[in-house]
A and B are shown apart, each in its own frame.
Chain A
């Protein structure tokens, strides 16, 4: 991240993706100035909810209260906590927690220890020390985000805003190996996250095409997107 300070506003309105969020929280743990700015901007963002306030369904109250009745609140963290003494370790915990997604979604205090952490292969790729991320536009305003870890030899693609594959068609992923394009998986849902099949360590790039159902041994259409792994992330 070139200028992490510039991301406080996007963070305050939750406009960062999981990876950026995790990176920024790492930064937050060590930057008091950004923590202050985030606090103020979060207050401002929260004000926006005045504009949409509406009475909730009456029966929801009972469900919320009975959920709580079954769960014990967590105890306060002991003492002043270790957040300032062990920034590195705790920043790492924040990353893990943020990448765990919905499990521990409230990251007001980013150094808070996660309750549970589920680490999928996709998570491991994104958490890898050497993870590189490319965000590329897809037709129609959709976006593809490709993350690749050379050490793990895996790449993950996430699409958002993409329409589902048309009837009789499928999205096919490709890895550009030195020898040529190799099929790396199929999907048909528009918005998804897929770990590319094959060895992404020696691949030079990854691509996405639309193919007839069942996929093709080689691309038959122009790629919707192609990420050159040697290009600037």
Chain B
């Protein structure tokens, strides 16, 4: 993989369009200790992994730690990836996201307060679409799919997924009952799934 390609790791072109078939193969090789496969896996996935971790923890140093921790898990647990239960990219990003979320939830009060402050004072107007530093066709599709949601659905999903908030916290931040927050997250995500035509 050349340098330019790896720098664009977030772009869809590098992901093997048929739902990560290539990545599944790379994971298989990782499980047998193939470090070249691991390097390639990193190159093909780290753009999305990095952007996601950074977005959740909102701190470069912490995002780097999250990525190190998450990729180490990916390497160790590669043999546990089960292609019958979903795509390789989603599996990997689940690990990254969970690692990032666990970190913000256990983080010391100061950083959390900043995040909370920031969110409240921006009236949650932040928009993932404004951050498309590396526009890609998939990013465009995601943006379109997000903008097709209701405002509450979009906010609830963004707070949960990018903010790392629990649904109870999402309810608090949006000043809606917990049941409503649950419904917004659920309806929104189902709609995203259907719009983006992802298959499990």
Binds B, one of A34-42, A123-131, A205-213, A224-232: A34-42
Known: A106-B77, A106-B95. A67 touches B51 (CB 8 A): no
The one of A44, A67, A112 that contacts B196, using a Cβ cutoff of 8 Å: A44
Is the beta-carbon distance between A14 and B168 smaller than 8 angstroms? Answer: no
In the complex the two chains form, what is the Cα distance from A13 to B42 in whole Å? 22
A48 at the B interface (CB under 8 A): yes
- Mark out the residues of chain B between 11 and 34 whose CB falls within 8 Å of any chain A CB in the assembled complex: 11-12, 30-33
Is the beta-carbon distance between B185 and A160 smaller than 8 angstroms? Answer: no
Closest to A102 in B: B102
Closest to B79 in A: A76
Binds B, one of A51-59, A85-93, A148-156: A51-59
Is the beta-carbon distance between B60 and A57 smaller than 8 angstroms? Answer: yes
Between B31, B52, B70, B107, the greatest number of chain A beta carbons within 10 A of the residue's beta carbon is seen for B52
Nearest-Cβ distance from residue B156 to partner chain A, whole angstroms: 9
A31 at the B interface (CB under 8 A): no
Is the beta-carbon distance between B60 and A39 smaller than 8 angstroms? Answer: no
Is the beta-carbon distance between B75 and A68 smaller than 8 angstroms? Answer: yes
The one of A67, A77, A145, A163 that contacts B80, using a Cβ cutoff of 8 Å: A77
Is the beta-carbon distance between B143 and A51 smaller than 8 angstroms? Answer: yes
Is the beta-carbon distance between B160 and A51 smaller than 8 angstroms? Answer: no
Is the beta-carbon distance between B71 and A64 smaller than 8 angstroms? Answer: yes
Which residues on A sit within 8 Å (CB–CB) of B155?
none
Can you identify 12 A-B contacts, CB atoms within 8 angstroms? A12-B189, A39-B86, A42-B90, A44-B189, A45-B189, A48-B146, A50-B10, A51-B142, A53-B50, A54-B51, A73-B31, A101-B106
Interface residues of B (CB under 8 A from A): 6-12, 30-33, 35, 38-39, 42-43, 46-52, 54-55, 60, 64, 67-73, 75-82, 85-87, 89-91, 93-95, 97-99, 101-103, 105-110, 112-113, 116, 120, 128-129, 131-134, 136, 138-139, 141-143, 145-146, 157, 160-162, 164-170, 172-173, 175, 178, 182, 185-186, 188-190, 192-193, 196, 198-200
Instruction: Please name the 9 residue pairs, one residue from A and one from B, whose CB atoms are nearest each other, closest first.
Output: A53-B10, A39-B200, A56-B50, A44-B193, A52-B51, A190-B109, A9-B186, A15-B160, A43-B198
